[in-house]
Amino acid sequence: MNIDLVTDIVADITVEFINKEDYSTDTNKELLDLAGFDAEQDTICFLHEKRKLFCGIQTKDSDDIRSAMSIAIKALKSTKYLSASVNVDKESISAIIEGIVLGGYEFTTYKSTPKVQTLEDFYLTCKDISSLQEPFAQALIVAEATCFTRDIVNMAPQEIYPQTLAEIAQKLAEDNELTCKVLDEKALKKENMNAMLAVGRASVHESKLIHLTYKPKNPKKIITLVGKGLTYDSGGLSLKAATSMVSMKMDKAGACAVLGIIKAASELKLDIEIHGFIGAVENMVGGNAYKPDDVLVSRNGTTIEVRNTDAEGRLVLADVLDYAQEKVEADYIFDFATLTGACMVALGQYTTGLMGHSQPLFHKFYDAAYHSGELVGSLPFNKHLKKLLKSEIADISNTSSKPYGGAITAGLFLDKFIKDENKEKWLHFDIAGSAYSESVWDCNPYGATGAGVRLMSSFLSEIN
């Protein structure tokens, strides 16, 4: 579907947003009343004879506009209209584009006969194109990068494994003038990345470390992004229940978010150097699988007692974080991981958990979340939970000795591998709940949401 910014157009149907206050005096109120419309948030009503689609909104805030537009685009795609239009201004344009692109997203790769879409053109009408061209282009780039991320997460595990994920990164590098370095298992062994290698040992697919770099001239900041790339997680010998194993293709969402963020940043031409490090691994079952009771020696020399092979993402990230800190002296270090179900227990299904030591960084991301439409909540570290990672036979255990505060203890495990000089520069993003959904919400469809791309794009665009 084409999306164009125009000053005037006669489309097949026009979308209009209306709140309760404006509804009371609207000239179409009598017809809308007859149809049962009441202008509640996320309600819609077609007046086909007038070629209009009315969308109820509670306020004119971006969150309400984006959500209503997401409902509207789904409804329009089920009609036979060829074109649609909606009026935009500087305050609404980003939310409307996100509603159209993200709300209208469908993953149909594996459908033998995908539904043919009639709607071909969506026109955004405004009085002055020149004043809106930049936000129009920026919003499209970020929305399309989010869909790019969704596509990779949604792809089946027989198609996306460490090698093919590396190939996607290499193709992105070619298309966006990035550099890409891939370490195979031989190179990983030389780097003493034993924790990461242990997780992937039982897979027929070799583990890979992917390093993508976007390097503009005279960057004002250097950012390191680290992504958990478990292309499939069976739980290993601590095997997941059958129902829990379904959807585990999403365990690579952190890695995919890193790819989407770098794609967006490079196309936005941000003057920030970005390094993306991805630990691409498949956690499977086999005679050579790593086991509970194993003791692993991580890249930085920390010994780790394995109590649960399903707490594998943190083992991969431990080595990748250490490698990334050695290779790049960054101003900020952010890792993205579908790390714990406990984060969903703490914050709900839709919210990304933030963990770290820097209160100023937390506040910057609260602001970025507000402007991007993503939801975040912070989970506090404390010394008492840290004690639960104590091991009697190694430096640290990969799981807590008690079942409470699991998202925080996972974050504290990662903190063990952050150098002292980088503690205030680092944040951990647990996207276990926000990265994948089996029900539609806001502008997110069934499946991958692309969590992290809009949030980080907002942060990077305002960085100073």
3-state secondary structure of 194: helix
Phi, psi for 188 (deg, rounded to 5): -65, -35
CA distances from 312 to 63, 168, 307 (A): 35, 23, 10
Task: At 96, list the tokens.
Answer: 């409307």
CA distances from 414 to 151, 269, 351, 408, 418 (A): 28, 31, 20, 10, 7
Beta strand ranges found along 220-351 (DSSP E): 221-233, 272-283, 295-297, 303-305, 332-337
Residue 393 gets the label, from left (phi > 0), alpha (psi -120 to 50) or beta, of alpha
The one catalytic residue among 240, 307, 364, 419? 240
The one catalytic residue among 66, 314, 425, 454? 314
C-alpha triplet 59, 431, 134: angle, nearest 5°: 50
Q: How many CB atoms lie within 10 A of CB 360?
A: 7
Quick one: which H or E segment has residue 260? helix 253-268
Is 74 part of the annotated catalytic residue set? no
Q: How far apart are CA 408 and CA 87, in angstroms?
A: 45
Q: Taking the mean position of all CA atoms in its chain, how far away is CA 247?
A: 16
Strands 332-337 and 426-430: parallel
Q: Taking the mean position of all CA atoms in its chain, how far away is CA 331?
A: 22
Q: How far apart are CA 375 and CA 388, in angstroms?
A: 29
Q: How far apart are CA 60 and CA 166, in angstroms?
A: 42
Rg of the chain in Å (alpha carbons) = 23
β-sheet with 83-87: strand ranges across: 2-6, 121-125, 83-87, 13-18, 52-56, 44-47
Nearest CA among 161, 172, 169, 147 for reference residue 252:
161
Return the amino acid letter for 302: T
Return the amino acid letter for 39: A
Is 80 part of the annotated catalytic residue set? no
Let me know how long the chain is: 464
The set of catalytic residues is 240, 314
